[in-house]
Amino acid sequence: MALAERLGLDLTRTLDVIEHSSGQSWIASDRLRRALQGDGAVRAHLSLLAKDTALAMRAAQDVAFELNLGSLAATLFAQACEQGLRDRDDASLFEHLGGRRC
């Protein structure tokens, strides 16, 4: 969605298209709809995503299983926490990636 915003696309319409395609997921619909509406009420702390992703990455490393996308996600979550979003809702990751504040 941050990319769509930079491209000048209508974000609500972009999310509508995503939700009707193979890119649809409940988590994306829930978080992105709230982010687009400016709803920053905390339902799931960003720090929880950071912790869970770091644990998954450690488990993967223990068995020499490569998770490139997981590594990127873990880095993004950690950076967002370091930038003060730790106690914000996980929808605030949109803001971290350059989207509007939620």
Spatial CA neighbour of 91 closest among 50, 57, 42, 48 = 42
pLDDT for residue 100: 67
pLDDT for residue 102: 55
Give how far Cα 43 sits from Cα of 2, 6, 33, 40, 66, Å: 21, 27, 14, 9, 30
pLDDT for residue 89: 87
Per-residue pLDDT of 71-84, as tens digits, reads 888 999 999 999 99
The domains located in the chain, with CATH, are: 2-96 (1.10.1040.10)
Predicted confidence band of residue 101 (pLDDT cuts 50, 70, 90): low
